[in-house]
Amino acid sequence: MVWPLSDDTNAIMLLYGWFGAEQQPLSLSEYNMLVEWLHRHQYRPHHLIDGVCNSAEVADETDLSHDRLKSLLDRRITLGFYLEEWQRRGYWILGRGDAIYPKRIRQCLGSQAPPLLFGTGEINLLDRGGVAVIGPDPVGQPPSESTRTIANLCAQHDYPTITAGSQEIATVTAENVVSAGGRLVWVLSGRQLSKPLEKKIRHAKASRKIALLASRSPADPRSMPQEPEIGRLLIALCNSAVYVDGTEFSVDPYDFRPAMETYQSRRTFFVWSDEYATRAVDQLLKAGGHIWKNEQDSIAAGLFEVNTEVGSEARTDCGPELESLALLQPVDARDRPEDQKQSNTALENSDIDEQTELPGHKDPSEYVQGELFDIHPEISQGGEIWKLTRNDPGYPASIRASMGDDAPRLILGVGEKNMTGRNRLAIIGPDSIPSARIKKVCEIATKLNRPVIVVGYLRMAREIVHVVHKCSGSVIWILDDEELKLRLKSPYQQALREHHLIMLAVKKSDMSKNSGLIGSLAVGLADEVLYVDGSNFGESSKREDRFGARVAALGRLEICRLLYGRKLSPEGQQVKERGAKSWVDEGAEIHNSVEENPGKYDDSWGQVQLF
Amino acid sequence: MPSIERPDTLKEVALQYLRDAVCNADAQFRDGQWESIEQAVKGNRVLVVQRTGWGKTMVYTISTKLRRERGAGPSLMISPLVALMRNQKHAASTLGLNAQRMTGDNFDEWREIHKKLIKGEVDLLMVTPERLANDRFITNTLPLIADGLGMLIIDEAHCISDWGHDFRPDYQRIRRVQEMIPQGAAIVATTATANNRVVEDVRGQLGDGIQVTRGSLVRRSLQLHNFKIPEAGTRLAWMAWAIADHLPGSGIIYVLTRRDADLVAHWLQSRKIKAFAYHGDSGEREELENRLMNNDIKVLVATIALGMGFDKPDLSFIIHYQRPGSVVHYYQQVGRAGRGITDAYGFLLWGEEDERIADYFLDNAFPSQAEIDEVLGVLEETDGGLTLKEIMFRVNLKKSRIEKVLKLASLESPAPVIYEAGKAGAWYATGDVYGFQVPAERIKRLKEIREHEKNQMREYMNHDGCLMAFLQRALDDETAQDCGRCRNCTNRTEKSFLPKPEIIQEAEKFIRKRPIVIFPKRKWPISELSDHPIHETQQILPEFRASVGFSLCRAFDDNLGDEILMQRRRRSQYSEAVVDAFCEALKSRIQQEGIVCVTYVPPRNRRRHVPILASALASNLGLQLIDAATRVKTGRSQGDFKNPVQRSRNIADVFVIDAPCKSPTFLIDDIVVSGWTMATMAALLRYDGCPKVIPAVLVTRSLSE
């Protein structure tokens, strides 16, 4: 029974569920941070609403503020109204702590598994695997013919078909599956879930042959196209996938392709393409996909192969209590490293592949299209800005490796694009760092020829840029796209001209989804992260702790150092407790850290070895 | 959850708020009042069962005030009583709370209220259960409250129980909502009328640890009286006599139907009593309430639209023109009087039509399985959704029956149908429940409850013991004892003296002679009913409309109506007496309206009643008879169709005008039910050049009759 919701799912709804636009619930990473805290103290989410633990305790030890958590948890009555409405509409809601939460999603996505799933229809279809039929919009050939073939095949073999989104390929696939009497899992955005169903789909629902699934709530106001989790969910749900090729101008709104690349070692992929294959298809084939020739070949190649990676055998060794705790865990030793390893391997391979110019293809920059990759005219005024998309060979592999799917889709830059450098040092910390300490750090870094990475436009950042430039050192300054206008100011123009400065930026629209994006970027790019402690006063505690948490979340604590004065501030203490190596004699430590790692780093961006 | 101060301090603050609100520096909490407030402020659940006027409002307004001061979100109050909300708004303002109501009659204020909600300026938001059940509340209003709702107040909480006397479908959703709310949220449920069974049911639904406050229901200022007066005329005469000569102050007369509200109000006005009708169709209801509050009106003649929440402490009398559906309803309604004065009166009159009306409401309360199958069937077979009118086009059921089916089905969970508000607003099948069954058990139980209530009401009317104690016992009030004030306790019958016979005669004449107006239709139920230009727009253009018409009498209302219906069934033509009465009624209009011709609605079959009637009228009144129209399709009887869409469609292309009337004319028919035949004929005549068409019929009959 899905209704009533479990106490844990109620709590997750309060913390993570969207009820309209006025209040922003926790992001996935924030939620995972909270789960980590709950684990540490052997609590479960519902203890936060039962009063067994409270948000003040959480706030004391994490980056999450007490006020925000309290305010989210105070939405109980509002939650009651939404739940009633959703139950009346026939939806079910699964929390990551529910035993019925699909194992394959949890296992495949680890901490990226959505804490909540919303859906309607036959819930048991979610763990049955199936063939995914996907493609960008528009697809390259009339999709009805190819999808009908697959729909019929799946129906004949009593094998679920899985599709996603609302573009033509999905609707045609759904229609064909339903007409063929097959079973269908359709991954949608939350808002699409609330749309009334057509007659055929209703009938399929009544016959328990369809499940509609969304990882966002039907009341989630965020725009639909920015839902990479749809692509990830779909790949997690399927055993094999058929990618129907698009055109050079197609858009992949649900990030199917990156998800396929990530999980290609665990899924069988087919590509349906005409003779003029797009670059996307080439990449998928290189990553191990099969070209769809005919039905029999595809069956032989594993179209209906049951993926044994997920299933009932998972975690049968642990008792029910332990198992449900495991369900709550973000990424643990059992899930993530394997995923990460595979994904890293894939990325490394793909990086190497991408270094080679693909024959017959256009310049990568020509693939940059759509609003997502536009630069606001006001920002681009004055020229000089270059762009890197995640598909570009020049895109820093270190960022992709450390940030995974959260890596910004587009990086804008000013200054040297192929800057060489080694032992990059990211300096992070609150705005209350004493100037003398900043100056000292910068002077030492410059002396050792270490490029310095700095983020944002606060006093500390500007001071670092100023000092490093004055010492003729190099600095990489990470900003948001609007702040790129700073390049037109004379001191920075001079630094750019003298190749002492590179400005990088991500779009503000990306930052709205991930407020710590530029910080993560800095950590991703760095070979060493130096947390410079601030004073014991001021209101900067939240910002400081976020940096610490981010380094921890990116798994880069081993490169994190802590620099502080006579006393360690409470925030610095938190960073220290996270495992950052503390050190007082800063000059020696920076020097030593460089000496300890000779030759570890390569000189070019695309080939940096990480982890 | 707000942090709680030391109870004593909090209590002192709360007491000061109470004193401010009631403008009395010595006021104290009533038993249970402070305890309820304290629990609500702590974020617990509270059920308050206390008589009207006890101070339930203070419990949730003071709780809201204290919670808001501690950073909680605004409170949401669900109440079926719009009239109460207006009073609540005022009461809340005395505590400095910003209370806003969102109801069907203040759409124009919603945008402003939304802005205030976004800014966090609203402390108490009041909505009706119907508004809450409307999806737009969830999609448009609720998301604006950034901090989430701080407290839920369920007024008339007995409605969330199936055992309650007051079945309101929309309360089913509220019941489920409160079941879904995790522990730790403040919920205050209040009712004045719940027996033990309902209290236990509500307590069970609100969950463990709920605090229940329950007190005596006796109202000591009230003198209750019962009179059996079967004839409507005598009751009218009695009321005119009593109100004009014997009842001080102002009061309310409760009636069961809108028609009776108008009838009684007009009668009292004719007796120089400042009386006004108050029902769903009355405009400016708020103004009427205000005028009564200010004693600018002697009496409001109201249906239950003037609900239980109307709070006028010095209301001195309540008269029931007909008996209400249950003892509990009666207790609630009569409890409006005498809250703030020492002497008040409650008169229960009952007549011969009461039983019929009660049965009608009982029989029509729930849709049948066949009706459910029919309505859901068309939705299930439709690819998209259907508007209500589109359903009416496909299903031959009365609009109210279709609405009942949709309401019942859409409140199920999961629901077989949902309403999607949009530009057109349409109903959709969900595919969740196929073959939805009428909740037979629940309906059976509700019908049994209502049957029991009806019998209990009958018992009350014949009761010879203390009337107040009877009411208290009916509500499981263990403190019930003889009041010493009611008619039976005091054996005082002086107020039951009947008025003079001439007043009774006047009242009877008033009922008979009351003009029965047929208002012209302004809009076709759907567009493009036929290819004829009169159907080109959905609006009936003014140049195609009929004028205001009239009817000689109303079916079942008096002897003449019954006689005409009998003649229609049994004779080949109407009697001379009927024709003469009709001529008498038409005569004055001829001069007034400049009528020159008479024409008629061609009959569907070989019955010649109407042509003969028209011919006799023309001959007696000296008007020209024109056989203007021919029926080109027999069609089916309008009586076969149950809703306006089907009726107007059935008649849309049936007539052809072959002899246009070029002068003002009477359009004659013997009976009018929905009026679409008249509207269609009038539009055709006017399209063909008739300057004025005045519908005139012998008898009107409503669809329910």
Q: How far apart are CA B197 and CA B213, in angstroms?
A: 15
Structure tokens at A385: 């800005």
On the question of pLDDT at A419 being above 70, the answer is no
Nearest chain A residue to B145 by CA distance is: A22
Q: How many CB atoms lie within 10 A of CB A9?
A: 25
Q: What's the pLDDT score for residue A320? A: 34
Q: Across the interface, do B180 and A87 touch by the CB < 8 Å criterion? A: yes
> Hey, CA dihedral for A228, A229, A233, A236, is it positive or negative?
positive
Q: What's the pLDDT score for residue A316? A: 31
Report CA-CA distances (Å) from B325 to B251, B311, B441.
20, 22, 22
Q: What's the pLDDT score for residue A421? A: 56
CA angle A249, A253, A257 (to 5 degrees): 85
| Out of A62-66, A112-116, A236-240, B244-248, least confident range | B244-248
Q: What's the pLDDT score for residue A353? A: 32
**Is the pLDDT higher at A34 or at B425?**
A34
Q: Across the interface, do A50 and B415 touch by the CB < 8 Å criterion? A: no
Q: How many CB atoms lie within 10 A of CB B631?
A: 15
**Is the pLDDT higher at A396 or at A323?**
A396
On the question of pLDDT at A411 being above 60, the answer is yes
Whether B363 and chain A come into contact, CB under 8 Å, resolves to no
Q: What is the DSSP string of B51-85?
A: -TTSSHHHHHHHHHHHHHHTT---EEEE-S-HHHH
- Closest CA relative to residue A106, chosen from A116, A96, A95, A120: A96
**Is the pLDDT higher at A120 or at B361?**
A120
On the question of pLDDT at A540 being above 50, the answer is no
Q: What's the pLDDT score for residue A315? A: 34
Whether A207 and chain B come into contact, CB under 8 Å, resolves to no
Q: Across the interface, do A19 and B143 touch by the CB < 8 Å criterion? A: yes
CA B128 to chain centre: 14
User: What values do phi and psi take at B162, rounded to 5?
Assistant: -70, -20
Quickly tell me which residue has 């605090």 as its tokens: B211
Q: Across the interface, do A22 and B143 touch by the CB < 8 Å criterion? A: yes
Q: Across the interface, do A78 and B429 touch by the CB < 8 Å criterion? A: no
On the question of pLDDT at A595 being above 80, the answer is no
DSSP state of A358: P
Residues 6+ apart with CB under 8 A from B664: B593, B594, B595, B596, B597, B690, B691, B692, B693, B694
On the question of pLDDT at A144 being above 90, the answer is no
Whether B412 and chain A come into contact, CB under 8 Å, resolves to yes
Q: From the CA of B361, how many Å to the nearest CA of chain A? A: 28
Q: What's the pLDDT score for residue B358? A: 74
Q: What's the pLDDT score for residue B41? A: 94
The helix (run of H) or strand (run of E) holding residue A590 is: helix A586-596
Nearest chain A residue to B133 by CA distance is: A85
Q: What's the pLDDT score for residue A584? A: 44
Q: Where are the alpha helices (DSSP H) in B467-575?
A: 467-474, 487-490, 501-513, 559-570
Q: How far apart are CA B461 and CA A492, in angstroms?
A: 94
Q: From the CA of A56, how many Å to the nearest CA of chain B? A: 12
Strand pairing class (B151-154; B75-78): parallel
Q: Across the interface, do A74 and B420 touch by the CB < 8 Å criterion? A: no
Structure tokens at B586: 């038409």
Residue type for position A583: W
Helix (H), strand (E), coil (C) string for A486-543: HHHCHHHHHHHHCCCEEEEEECHHHHHHCCCHHHHHHHHHCCEEEEECCCCCCCCHHH
Q: What's the pLDDT score for residue B496? A: 56
Looking at beta carbons, which residues of chain B come within 8 Å of A52? none
pTM (whole model) above 0.95: no
Looking at beta carbons, which residues of chain A come within 8 Å of B151? 77
Which ipTM value was assigned to this complex?
0.83
**Mean pLDDT value across chain A:** 75
- pLDDT tier, A513 (very low <50, low <70, confident <90, very high otherwise): low
Per DSSP, chain B holds a count of helices (H) and strands (E) of 26, 23
- pLDDT tier, A380 (very low <50, low <70, confident <90, very high otherwise): low
The helix (run of H) or strand (run of E) holding residue B345 is: strand B344-350
Q: How many CB atoms lie within 10 A of CB A192?
A: 18
On the question of pLDDT at A608 being above 50, the answer is no
Q: How far apart are CA A31 and CA A83, in angstroms?
A: 21
User: What values do phi and psi take at A600, rounded to 5?
Assistant: -70, -30
Q: How far apart are CA B407 and CA B419, in angstroms?
A: 10
Q: What's the pLDDT score for residue B480? A: 87
Q: From the CA of B148, how many Å to the nearest CA of chain A? A: 4
On the question of pLDDT at A450 being above 60, the answer is yes
Helix (H), strand (E), coil (C) string for B115-165: HHHHHCCCCEEEECHHHHHCHHHHHHHHHHCCCCCCEEEECCHHHHCCCCC
Quickly tell me which residue has 């070019």 as its tokens: A604
Q: What's the pLDDT score for residue A133? A: 92
Which of residues 106 through 135 in chain A touch B, CB cutoff 8 A?
Answer: 120
Residues of chain B short of pLDDT 70, as ranges, are 1-8, 83, 135, 162-167, 283, 307-309, 423, 433-434, 492-497, 557-558, 702-705
- What are A6-24's pLDDT values in tens digits? 999 999 999 999 987 677 8
Q: What's the pLDDT score for residue B615? A: 95
Q: What's the pLDDT score for residue B465? A: 92
- Closest CA relative to residue A112, chosen from A329, A324, A310, A320: A329
**Is the pLDDT higher at A600 or at B647?**
B647
